[in-house]
Amino acid sequence: MSDAPDALEPIRIVALYHFTPFEDPAALRGPLLELCEKEGIKGILLLAREGINGTIAGTDEGMERVMAHIRALPGCADLESKDSRAPELPFRRMKVRLKKEIVTMGEPDIDPRQGVGRYVAPEDWNALISDPDTILIDTRNDYEVAIGTFKGAEDPKTKSFREFPEWFRRRRQELEAKGRLPKIAMFCTGGIRCEKSTSFARAEGVDEVYHLKGGILKYLETVPEEESLWEGECFVFDQRVSVKHGLEIGTHDVCHACRRPLNAHDKASPLFIQGVSCPHCHNERTEEQRRRYAERERQEALAQARRAGHLGVRQK
């Protein structure tokens, strides 16, 4: 990405995941968190017995040391990551959390190390999804799909990834009732959900399953916009909120109450109050919750006014 418009931005953002057996994830947490804090790295990493997942950001020098530490963890030598850049840290703090799964599907017998769908490189993806025999499935949640997806993709309208297996079984029955045994292509933000969703599909007896290698982020980085079949922006789980082709920062904001993405129309709504509510969550919250959110927003505004570094090493 050295020739990208944001190549000189000071902050390096790394999205990573790797399925590998960790016998004692808790023993890995302390040293990893300590190093991240020492190097000024912000973001979130998840550790589980099945591996590691997360997105972190910091300076190039700090990130090199942290990534070297991560690749030295058991089974992580060939861990792949996706880099992008930003003018400031897109996270406020550093968290390393212990989880049962690094991406929660709720299917304990699914192990991507035992087999996943066939990887498709971004440059070959358009040909696959343009085939009328291909069923294209967006494995992300409804609020992510709402701001952008591939042309012709099916939206499962899931609130969480736990709902995906039930949706998939139901959709498969519908297709088979019509006499269809199609090719299935799946995609997600960075690839990790598809490791599990395609592994799940194969465990359900579906053989011809494909997924986008590197996810939407790799596609937007690799495929020229004039050749792209992507429509809209891609939601990301940090304060950039969304990215466009070339991984440029998108136009969306985020509701600090419900974490859903917001466009200009949402923010023009009378139900939008900065840090307190938006049209998506106004009726989901109590007055007491909104009072707490308002106080939190006030405290963060005060901290920013004191240049307390809530948004990282460089303030806009």
Known catalytic residues are 188
**Residue ranges of E strands in 121-237:** 134-138, 148-150, 183-187, 209-212, 230-232, 234-235
Give the list of residues 6+ apart from residue 2 with CB closer than 8 angstroms, or none: none
1 vs 231: CA distance, rounded Å: 22
d(CA 178, CA 217): 34
Q: What is the dihedral of CA 238, 1, 54, 102, to 10 degrees?
A: 120
263-299: burial string, b at 16+ Cβ within 10 Å, e else: eeebeeeeebbebbbbbbbbeebeeeebeebbeebee
> Tokens at residue 143, please?
């609020």
Would you call 101 helix, strand, or coil by DSSP? Answer: coil
∠47-166-230 over CA atoms, to 5°? 75
- 282's CB contacts (< 8 A; 6+ apart) are 271
